[in-house]
Structure 1
């Protein structure tokens, strides 16, 4: 919620000042103590507060008052910081000694404290915790939702699997969780099984209970007992548990617990369901993957996925026209409408029901397509949105800002998990937990949103981490609606919003006209965040409070997408700067950026960083996308040396002259990307200092100068997990592979170019013990690859071989590794193709068709027999 985010953000500002080695201002200690006390109290209040406006279109007045007070405090403190830093810089340039008076700061902060005192009294005196607007009648609403009989289309196979698990003859009592996002069809699937004749004949007792968010355990037990034996007397909780246990003992029963939100419910119910080896089953539908994991083993969970294109179309067709054929002239527009639903059965059913009552004309359907989101969310009193909003309202306070922020990203965008994490941190609404870094906290929060099926995983890493994600359009609509209601962020579209002056976060979509952008930018006097999806306007907002500038795109051609560096680097309170830089910009001083966390710059011109970059204590993440950052040598070591202990990522550095002094200043680097395109005659051994980064996990090194001695000087820390090494053609790989193989944690290795002087690679026993992904490219003189033991690569999952024309075959031992599940070959010889085919066949014998084996084969010779032989069992992406 916006109120909670505002409080945590204010706490971060105070902490940034108090913990900075050279803070721009000082706050009165007593005022700081008073502020923190009130902020903690208000945070704790919001963490347990059930707003009576949760399902209203109106914002909660109490929450908005908290937002306003927190923002007022931010304005006071940050205004003073900006004035002080700018005046200090001017005085330094002019050799003056002007200072900003602190009297006004003290009084303004005192006024804010008094406002917070009033809020404190109000929340302290709050005797009755407001129930959720849906709390008292929430169960009724849930019950009504189950009566929407959506067709079981696209889930026939899942239904058969569920029926089989319910009646498979296993006499143990089993718990079967059905998991998926709201509206995906969990209840429909469970109801399809519950009402199936086979189930009615198989079980002695069948009970269906819908669990509301505000549940009453006594009422649940009483209802189960009524359905089980037809009656229930007025008993307390313990007596009901005993009576239910006796009623079910010796009987084969099926209990459906629909829409469970908390493991606490199960903990209170489980002792009432006896295990008497009669083959009983308990089905639990839930939106919470982590809850399902508490109930049973992960492989026993029934995971509901979004419908594919064909199933979506079938469901839509039957909803609109039943068994009648779909009119030919409406098929194309109909498919576009279905595509907007993104495979969510609830959305398809709601849209289909609406279209079934519409005029069957092309013009009317085109109108419906253009206004689909608004129409769906207004149909049946926001029925669709209410179902999804249950998930949002059930979120703890600390997760709500993270979820709402996902609405900032454009529709259908694949969102980088690392980018989302960095933005959350820069916004300041992540509450620190114990001794965990904010980066760790943010990743845990993202995982929680995935577990709650509010965020969809787009791509997983080899270690099971979320690499990228998406948000369903309807959930994004929910974010936009709730964010607008709470003034969490503002979308500038064709109709410029009113009250934009007080908005703290501004988002400019690609479709926004330039004149509206210009109008908005001049009105954004209090904006802290400016998110721009595409290069549409190069001016910055008229706000000196800017903290987050997210205006970077991968294609930054055109002057409208670029900002002068001197303009951006005058944003005193910047935490997150991601933008394309105008290539003729003068590289300014970075002295003003006292609190910068993240710096991402796309610029074709070499960026020679000013010396003060070594004094930027708060820097966490630095990325120059064109690999043209030149770091100066740090100042000579002296008593006031600044250790940049927060810097964890440094990417795009050119000719980094690493020294012992550099390592001391940035000891916590976890990811480093460097390029060397000229020979470092004075300090050619700089790569040997890589081993001094004791926390380095990911390293990319491009070596473009010819130096045969260079590999002998390379040394890597044992903490390394991912390495990408691109070297010249005369780089002899035999000198470095034993060193890489000995790295105990290395799980991804990419080697590009280089040569094998012996034309043979013979792996050594006991090496590459943790390697999961291996890619070799351009080593075109490698003929023989010898693996003496099949245990050399025990964890290997991915094998990519590119441009290895001389390689005769892949060692057969590789094919014996049970975990291998991806082979990619490109420009390899015929013998390698045949060897890969043999590996594939062996893997299929072990694992059947479950493996995702993609092999890209490009044959140098068009021999038809070899072509057939090499590709008979492959998924071939391209053949030449």
Structure 2
């Protein structure tokens, strides 16, 4: 199918580009419709940076990519630069060509040659056109070529030989929606377009609607609401502004526009916004399209947890199997591709730089939803239950759906449904859904769920006192089990859970008691289990660890002394693939647990909540872990009142957080320790002085103090001042957060040393 599609696109490319050439005047694109006048607001700093790169002293030919999602202003920026007086004066030759998805190298070369030389011959081959263009560019001085809307590095690889590097300061500017394409084109200068802030969005909206005239006061409040819903996307602001510029200036009409903004923007000018963005969807490879469509089911402005998204993708069968790659690795690669294509926005990063939450711009979500609706990819239940729901295979019920609508839907749903995702807080009675593979419900779980043998993904709430039945072992396809215990009361699993070979992820909010597996049974190996979260008083013994050999993430809590005298945590070192460990000790749990702990060298993330245990011994073990990137310690105390870190310790640590670790008064750093530390967070700490060596850590980016002593902040400010004297601008920034902020502390505030009162 991909080969057929490529041939079809190439067939139509020449005719399409012929039309582009015929619309271009001889000589240059100054008066061409390709560079029609458009407003540019909010990118002054970016424009100055681009001008500097274009006209700067570097004499090598440079490629400068401009990247960003559709409609964010890439082409507008390139147009303004192309017509800038300084650029016209600096370059002897300028040419603009649009590559697009259906590119044709021969026609593109002919278009550029026509603009720079006036030659419009159509009988030359691709090679002859390229040679002629190269000779012409070699015979002239500096040139600037704008390659607008590039979708593939292949087109550049075919043309690059015809744009000579004459060591005279020539430049090539490329606009593209693909951020990863920029890295393939160059490893130096590139510009990533960002969304407009509130001030710039308002300025662009005002100029679009009223030009240089003042904004009517009676429309200002509703106007700001309209602008806010555009979420900083210039395309959306310009389209809605253009509509309002031609409409009546009444408060009632503008309120109507604000209430129906999404449908108005998408219907104005023959759905111009969606047509612009749809190019990005059309260019997606086949394996990414279902992933993109699936994300449209999440709510407007909803932050989407990457872990949940990946597991849903696996259960829905969206991931294309790749030899020697886990499903998690493939899912991460898919997500990165969507981010690189600027269809998905990174909302929040984890402590070590991984993507934790993502979002979709409202217009992109509208595109995803419309395409999903066209293809009957899933059905989003509204406030009225239609008859056609009985033929749907993937059903999504938003949180806002009424209980009556949900009940009606459940009665008419097809028993052949494969996916059921319900965000509504109402009982969902699943009667006969034997083919169901994905079930996510925000309401109570019923026992008959454990008879749905085809389930791969199960997420639900259980009531107080609920005990998981032994019939759970019937779910032999299940790989993800996520349970929330109502009221925070733990649930108990039957011993049959150890027979579930396919389980990969178990996450129980509120806690779960796991029984010991029955010894002597060879069929209880859980070789696929990677995540086990929420286990209480977990008896880690030889029998258990050999049944979960591939566990990567383990969150456990010890609440009492039922395990007293058992060195269960010494068996952690047997889990050779464990990467993330959270271990909480509560109430009267025995300190012996912590002192007997032995960590595997594979550990990358560690969070210990230590009660009032002494930390020196455990930190000595932690410091030698070669791969540890993230460390968080809560409570505990330093018996010696000091912590000394020696050279060579914590070789990979990027994130360090200490919360309420008592009696730590002195902190000493010896030699080149903590070489990769990027973030340091301290809360409820009373250090006498910060070690001056903190300022010498090469990768340090930020330090945060929360509810710490004022003397710590003053000590840290001295280090910041020293770094400013040595470097001009410190490599790290400081944030002080406290309930009480004295005038002395507030007077220390600078852009690099922020003080915030909580």
- TM-score (ref. length: structure 1): 0.81
Whole-Å separation in 1 of the counterparts to 2:20 and 2:368:
22
Q: State the Cα distance separating 1:696 from its structure 2 match.
A: 0.6
What SS does the corresponding residue of 2:46 show, helix, strand or coil?
Answer: helix
Which residue does 2:469 correspond to in 1? Answer: 588
Whole-Å separation in 2 of the counterparts to 1:138 and 1:713:
72
Return the match for 1:544 from 434, 451, 454.
434
Q: State the Cα distance separating 1:840 from its structure 2 match.
A: 2.5
Whole-Å separation in 2 of the counterparts to 1:408 and 1:706:
44
Q: State the Cα distance separating 1:750 from its structure 2 match.
A: 0.5
Q: Which ranges of structure 2 fall in alignment gaps of 5 or more residues?
A: 24-31
What SS does the corresponding residue of 2:538 show, helix, strand or coil?
Answer: coil
Higher relative contact order structure (alpha carbons within 8 Å, sequence separation ≥ 6): 1
Q: Superposed, which structure 2 residues align to 1:511-550 within 5 Å? A: 511-525=400-414, 526-540=416-430, 543-550=433-440
Q: Superposed, which structure 2 residues align to 1:84-99 within 5 Å? A: none
Deviations 1:330-352 (A, max 9, x none): 22221111111111101111111
Native 8 Å contact 1:530 1:541 kept in 2: no
Q: State the Cα distance separating 1:454 from its structure 2 match.
A: 0.6
Whole-Å separation in 2 of the counterparts to 1:397 and 1:132:
21
Which residue does 1:727 correspond to in 2? Answer: 610
Q: 1:531 to 1:677 in 2, by over 3 A?
A: same
Q: State the Cα distance separating 1:536 from its structure 2 match.
A: 4.2
Native 8 Å contact 1:575 1:598 kept in 2: yes
Native 8 Å contact 1:565 1:588 kept in 2: no
Which residue does 2:500 correspond to in 1? Answer: 616
Which residue does 1:270 correspond to in 2? Answer: 160
- 2:648 counterpart of 1:759: no
Whole-Å separation in 1 of the counterparts to 2:727 and 2:244:
45
Native 8 Å contact 2:305 2:356 kept in 1: yes
Q: State the Cα distance separating 1:579 from its structure 2 match.
A: 1.5
What SS does the corresponding residue of 1:875 show, helix, strand or coil?
Answer: strand
Q: 1:139 to 1:691 in 2, by over 3 A?
A: farther
- 2:676 counterpart of 1:792: no
What SS does the corresponding residue of 1:855 show, helix, strand or coil?
Answer: strand
Return the match for 1:819 from 699, 702, 713.
699
Whole-Å separation in 1 of the counterparts to 2:81 and 2:745:
50
Q: State the Cα distance separating 1:614 from its structure 2 match.
A: 0.6
Q: State the Cα distance separating 1:586 from its structure 2 match.
A: 4.7
Deviations 1:191-229 (A, max 9, x none): 000011111111111000001211111111111111111
Q: Superposed, which structure 2 residues align to 1:282-361 within 5 Å? A: 282-297=172-187, 300-361=189-250
Whole-Å separation in 2 of the counterparts to 1:183 and 1:325:
26
- 2:626 counterpart of 1:744: yes
Native 8 Å contact 1:522 1:542 kept in 2: no
- 2:457 counterpart of 1:573: no
What SS does the corresponding residue of 2:174 show, helix, strand or coil?
Answer: strand
Native 8 Å contact 1:797 1:820 kept in 2: yes
Deviations 1:799-848 (A, max 9, x none): 1111113x211111111112211111123223211121123334445665
Q: CA RMSD in A?
A: 2.4
- TM-score (ref. length: structure 2): 0.93
Greater shift in the superposed pair: 360-369 or 148-157: 148-157
Whole-Å separation in 1 of the counterparts to 2:51 and 2:734:
33
Which residue does 1:169 correspond to in 2? Answer: 57
Native 8 Å contact 1:829 1:859 kept in 2: no
Which residue does 1:89 correspond to in 2? Answer: none
Q: State the Cα distance separating 1:148 from its structure 2 match.
A: 6.0
What SS does the corresponding residue of 1:800 show, helix, strand or coil?
Answer: strand
- 2:673 counterpart of 1:832: no
Which residue does 2:27 correspond to in 1? Answer: none
Which residue does 1:118 correspond to in 2? Answer: none
Q: 1:745 to 1:507 in 2, by over 3 A?
A: same
Native 8 Å contact 2:179 2:342 kept in 1: yes
Which residue does 1:14 correspond to in 2? Answer: none
Q: 1:641 to 1:137 in 2, by over 3 A?
A: same
Q: Superposed, which structure 2 residues align to 1:462-473 within 5 Å? A: 462-473=351-362
Native 8 Å contact 2:738 2:756 kept in 1: no
Native 8 Å contact 2:71 2:276 kept in 1: yes
Q: Superposed, which structure 2 residues align to 1:620-631 within 5 Å? A: 620-626=504-510, 628-631=511-514
What SS does the corresponding residue of 1:375 show, helix, strand or coil?
Answer: helix
Native 8 Å contact 2:650 2:673 kept in 1: yes
Q: State the Cα distance separating 1:656 from its structure 2 match.
A: 0.3
| Larger fraction in strand | 2
- 2:38 counterpart of 1:150: yes
Whole-Å separation in 2 of the counterparts to 1:507 and 1:218:
48
Native 8 Å contact 1:565 1:587 kept in 2: no
- 2:300 counterpart of 1:411: yes
Return the match for 2:272 from 383, 387, 393.
383
Q: State the Cα distance separating 1:683 from its structure 2 match.
A: 5.5
Return the match for 2:526 from 635, 641, 644.
644
Q: 1:129 to 1:281 in 2, by over 3 A?
A: closer
Q: State the Cα distance separating 1:548 from its structure 2 match.
A: 1.2
- 2:752 counterpart of 1:868: no
Return the match for 2:600 from 717, 733, 754.
717
Which residue does 1:201 correspond to in 2? Answer: 89
- 2:178 counterpart of 1:178: no
Native 8 Å contact 2:537 2:563 kept in 1: no
Native 8 Å contact 1:565 1:586 kept in 2: no
Whole-Å separation in 1 of the counterparts to 2:243 and 2:205:
11
What SS does the corresponding residue of 1:825 show, helix, strand or coil?
Answer: strand
Q: State the Cα distance separating 1:524 from its structure 2 match.
A: 1.7
Q: 1:347 to 1:163 in 2, by over 3 A?
A: same
Number of aligned residue pairs: 742
Deviations 1:771-821 (A, max 9, x none): 1111111122111111122x111111111111113x211111111112211
Whole-Å separation in 2 of the counterparts to 1:275 and 1:134:
29
Which residue does 1:258 correspond to in 2? Answer: 148
Native 8 Å contact 1:187 1:285 kept in 2: yes
Which residue does 2:318 correspond to in 1? Answer: 429
Q: State the Cα distance separating 1:571 from its structure 2 match.
A: 2.2
Q: Superposed, which structure 2 residues align to 1:68-83 within 5 Å? A: none
Native 8 Å contact 2:419 2:438 kept in 1: yes
Native 8 Å contact 2:720 2:730 kept in 1: no
Which residue does 1:602 correspond to in 2? Answer: 484
Native 8 Å contact 1:670 1:696 kept in 2: yes
